[in-house]
Chains A and B, each alone.
Chain A
Amino acid sequence: AQSVTQLGSHVSVSEGALVLLRCNYSSSVPPYLFWYVQYPNQGLQLLLKYTTGATLVKGINGFEAEFKKSETSFHLTKPSAHMSDAAEYFCAVTGATGRRALTFGSGTRLQVQP
């Protein structure tokens, strides 16, 4: 069984400040981890993914995430927030279970203040 917990349903930062969105996962198999972003009235867009190899993963729009197995975490960061980063962010997990299905967290809404 797999699950994802996103701490903080709402996060507010000032433009130019550090963005940190938290994600912890539970998985009985080696996990594959993803971050998706959803803008209003749109579908989900992949920001980045971790499967194997380097634990620090770089994605689009300046975002990156670090896989920490000992902490079962995959937090998303961006050094400097931009107004256009305001959106809903979802962490998701899957694994080599033979069934291709993502388990999503409940999401974190990021607000960026001018």
Chain B
Amino acid sequence: ETGVTQSPTHLIKTRGQQVTLRCSSQSGHNTVSWYQQALGQGPQFIFQYYREEENGRGNFPPRFSGLQFPNYSSELNVNALELDDSALYLCASSLRTGEDSPLHFGNGTRLTVT
């Protein structure tokens, strides 16, 4: 069984640039969520996708956007990068959208904005 994989593992960008992070869901999982984890903090919910539609969003500005593809893989796009966007970005997949369905996390992408 293949777990959740994320790419790249590390990324350095300059303020104002745009970035795309990628995630492959665990086999059989149709729901993907993205979380931002700042240094020393717990993860914060960005948004969730189910069957290629956004299915919930946290308190993040519109410059954070996403996509889910027919094979359930996903992208997180961030425009106009700010220094505070520096964080570990975690992708998580689950079997269904139900609140009791456990999330399976990837190892994350470490984004540094300079």
With A100-B31, A100-B98 known to touch, is A105 a contact of B42 (CB < 8 Å)? yes
The verdict on A45 contacting chain B, using a C-beta distance below 8 Å, is yes
Please give, as numbers and ranges, the residues of chain A lying within 8 Å of B99 by CB-CB distance: 32, 94-97, 100
Most buried by B among A34, A51, A100: A100
Q: Mark contacts of A69-104 with chain B using CB atoms, 8 A cut-off: 1 yes-contact digit, 0 otherwise.
A: 000000000000000000000101011110111111
Which A residues form the contact surface with B (CB < 8 A)?
4, 32, 34, 36, 41-46, 49, 51, 90, 92, 94-97, 99-107
- B108–A100 touching, CB < 8 Å: no
Closest to A92 in B: B42
The verdict on B66 contacting chain A, using a C-beta distance below 8 Å, is no
- A107–B41 touching, CB < 8 Å: yes
- A100–B56 touching, CB < 8 Å: yes
Closest to A105 in B: B42
Which B residues form the contact surface with A (CB < 8 A)?
4, 31, 33, 35, 40-45, 48, 55-56, 58, 90, 92, 94, 97-108
Our pick among B4, B42, B94 for the contact of A104 (Cβ within 8 Å) is: B42
Least CB distance, A30 to chain B, in whole angstroms: 10
Most buried by B among A44, A45, A104: A44
CB-defined A-B contacts under 8 Å, sample of 17: A32-B100, A45-B105, A46-B103, A46-B104, A51-B100, A92-B42, A95-B99, A99-B55, A100-B55, A100-B56, A101-B48, A101-B58, A102-B35, A103-B45, A104-B42, A106-B42, A107-B42
